[in-house]
Amino acid sequence: MSIDPSNETVAESTYKRIRADIIFGRLLPGRKLKLDKLKDDYATSVSTLREILNRLHSEGLVAAEGQRGFEVAGISEADLRETAELRLLLETHALTQSFENGDVEWEARLVSAHYKLARMEQVMASGDTSQAEDWKRYDWEFHQALISACGSKLLMNTHAAVFDKYLRYQMVALSYRGDVAAEEHQQLLDAAMRRDQETGRKLLARHIQGGVEHALARRPLTDG
Amino acid sequence: MSIDPSNETVAESTYKRIRADIIFGRLLPGRKLKLDKLKDDYATSVSTLREILNRLHSEGLVAAEGQRGFEVAGISEADLRETAELRLLLETHALTQSFENGDVEWEARLVSAHYKLARMEQVMASGDTSQAEDWKRYDWEFHQALISACGSKLLMNTHAAVFDKYLRYQMVALSYRGDVAAEEHQQLLDAAMRRDQETGRKLLARHIQGGVEHALARRPLTDG
DNA sequence: GCTTGCCAGACTTTCGAATGCAGGTGGTTT
DNA sequence: AAACCACCTGCATTCGAAAGTCTGGCAAGC
């Protein structure tokens, strides 16, 4: 048996690390990803890094062109809007399906995920922003729980990828929209328990569009 | 200057080759992808192959687990239905947007793409199935043209990835639904030129669902 | 003064070989 | 005979170094 309890390959764990570093803004948009440098920073070989960067490239988090190496994908208002729109499309559809299929297990997941998120939102509201990553993780888990009864693994995976791209914009803008977002999360939970599709869709649209406008107001982006 | 006129890296062209081999059924679902074997078949090194397989993994065309290597992703009725449903969701949305935004350039692309597709459909109808890959490529290009005015590069890329997964099922089932599909393509073109959103959506839904049922009838799949 | 061609350095791409894991085989113990 | 353990083989994984490609600067020519 391996000593590493996680049973993960080096490539896998480094992949997660780099991915998180991009999403949470520790590797800024447009930054050149030189293999020699990364090799030192992440203590891996060049080949392994290339595997990882190629993977991130096909997720749209890393740009790679011809023989000129890799860099963190750039950001633009247009891309943010496209990302948000696609998230809305996927999440709305999955939400509607979940409202139809959800059973008691689903409701329990919802309540649990919302409880954790609400607790973290209290912490954030008190001005303690040191746990922003945990907060976003709970946000992620709540939205994932909302659509977890949609019945399509493919839809959930695709949504997750788009969500993470969207999340990066939120983190870059470092925007805490605390009270408004928390209220919307509560209302989303209520609508879900009532299976009120119409309200659920409207809330979600407002939630996402609100996030976009907030981020843009906080950190205007030029296109390109 | 390089001798290779395409200015493509070895990795890139091999990636396309393997991808096509999976989609067009030359590498069958579930088949183990042993690196040593692939190394000979595609004349590349192990590291380069791993880059490629990782990329295909994140597109859902290759399965990879822990320390047990890679294999061609399996197929199942459930996955086909999920793929078709997601394609429908994305393509319907993009189609609606295109109907709103499309200009004369877009119309010209449509007419051109449909012309090529219709010609190939004639060839197929005459019983000559030797050019199935070209036919499917024209089909791909026609549908891509239909949504090419949607205004979102992200949406188009995501759609393309899902479309290719769907296409693999069509190829595995080797199903030529010639006359029906050709008629539907013609009607789709007409609806697009009229910007008749309602009809466009209905046609697309019927087109995709018809494809699924046809494929399943031709080659029933067990789940898993 | 401006363009063009060439050189050096830095970096990416590609490779083949060393390392290490997983599952099977055969041998030993109860 | 069945269960267990230690080895062995066939791979996947990881690495460091060789080969190839781009960038920017400098010198020569127009």
Instruction: Name the pTM for this structure.
Output: 0.89
Q: Which two tokens stand for residue A48?
A: 């392994």
In DSSP notation, B25-67 reads TSS-TT-EE-HHHHHHHHT--HHHHHHHHHHHHHTTSEEE-TT
- A93 interfacial to chain B (CB closer than 8 Å): yes
Phi/psi zone of residue B60: left (φ > 0), alpha (ψ -120 to 50 degrees), beta? left
Distance from CA of A126 to the nearest CA of B (A): 37
d(CA A113, CA A20) in angstroms, rounded, equals 21
- Which nucleotide in the DNA or RNA is closest to residue B8, CA to C1'? C13
d(CA A50, CA A47) in angstroms, rounded, equals 5
Per-residue CA distances from A179 to A139, A140, A185 (Å): 14, 17, 10
- Which nucleotide in the DNA or RNA is closest to residue B49, CA to C1'? C14
- A51 interfacial to chain B (CB closer than 8 Å): yes
- B35 interfacial to chain A (CB closer than 8 Å): no
Protein CA B110 to sugar C1' D8 (Å)? 62
Task: Residue A168: name the closest of A32, A19, A11, A15 by CA.
Answer: A19
CB contact under 8 A, B50 and A51: yes
- Residue recorded with tokens 């959930």: A156
CB contact under 8 A, B57 and A55: yes
Q: Which domains does chain B have, with CATH numbers?
A: 5-72 (1.10.10.10), 77-218 (1.20.120.530)
Instruction: Write out chain B's pLDDT in tens, 224 residues.
Output: 333 445 788 999 999 999 999 999 999 999 999 999 999 999 999 999 999 999 999 999 999 988 899 999 999 999 999 999 999 999 999 999 999 998 999 999 999 999 999 999 888 888 777 788 898 999 999 999 999 999 999 999 999 999 999 999 988 876 566 667 777 887 767 766 677 778 767 777 788 888 777 877 776 666 54
**A219 secondary structure, DSSP code:** S
Residue type, A221: L
Per-residue b/e over A51-89, b at no fewer than 16 CB within 10 Å?
bbbbbbbbbbbbbbeeeeebbbbebebbbbbbbbbbbbb
